[in-house]
Amino acid sequence: MKPYQKIKIQECHEPLVPIPLEIFAIESPHPYQKLGAPYHLSQTNSPYFLRQKVLDSLIVAQTKLQQNYPGWRIQIFDAYRPITIQQFMVDYTFAETVKVQGLTLDSPSLTEAKRQEIFELVYQFWATPSLDPTTPPPHSTGAAIDVTLVDANGKTIDMGSPIDELSPRSYPNHFLERQDKEAQKYHQYRQLLVEVMMYGGFQQHPQEWWHFSLGDQMWAWLTNSGGEVVARYGRVE
């Protein structure tokens, strides 16, 4: 169990609503759909849903962005993610990591100890596809979102590492201490993203520059250290 999963949830039953995609930038088709993620098994058939107040806050964040960067937009990589999709992506990431390490899923070298080692790496960045209502994966609540930025020409801003990379480069402040101009630029853009998202009320995942949430367990855990804030969004059934 991760620390934020100890936060209590008092579900507010706010609706899951479609994101108006004409307002934001998106990648089409959706990255996980291109991998074969079974969205047809979910109740929405789309990743582009959020809780109503989370969507409202995302619009606030983009408005803030455009005050200083006219024409720039928030690009939505992923939002609501049913448990079936969470399981698919965990399995996919595990298989890809096995491949990167020069192994195959049926290789004798893929011992139980090695499998455990790889799963530990995967679960540093991916939440467990838990069906326990007290420990929902953040994206299954409709309160977590993966985002980046695009400029006025529609070009995706280079943040120094791709979304979902299993690497220390994914940590928000990875480039903070680097002195070369390219690294400083990456950090500057990451700071811009976190500033506008926090202006909207979001909190940033400590290990993922792209992941933000509002109202879920992680948000509550990051918002206070005294335990007085509870989560208002649990898993969407």
Which tens digit of pLDDT belongs to each residue from 122-162?
999 999 999 999 999 999 999 999 999 999 999 999 999 99
Listed as ranges, residues in the chain with pLDDT below 70 are: 225-227
Amino acid at 91: D
Does 228 fall in a domain? no
pLDDT score of 210: 98
pLDDT score of 100: 94
Nearest CA to 46 out of 82, 86, 90, 88 is that of 82
Does 230 fall in a domain? no
Q: CA-to-CA distance for 203 and 127, rounded, in angstroms? A: 17
* Count of domains for the chain: 1
Does 234 fall in a domain? no
CATH number for the domain that contains residue 32? 3.30.1380.10
Does 235 fall in a domain? no
Does 74 fall in a domain? yes
Active-site residues, by number, are 208
- 104, 110 Cβ separation under 8 angstroms: yes
Does 101 fall in a domain? yes
Domain that holds residue 134: 3-223
SS3 category, 180: coil
Taking the CA atoms of 46, 148, 203 and 119 in sequence, report the sign of the dihedral they define. Answer: positive
Does 102 fall in a domain? yes
Does 233 fall in a domain? no
pTM for the model: 0.95
SS3 category, 3: helix
**pLDDT digits over 64-86, tens only?**
999 999 999 999 999 999 999 99
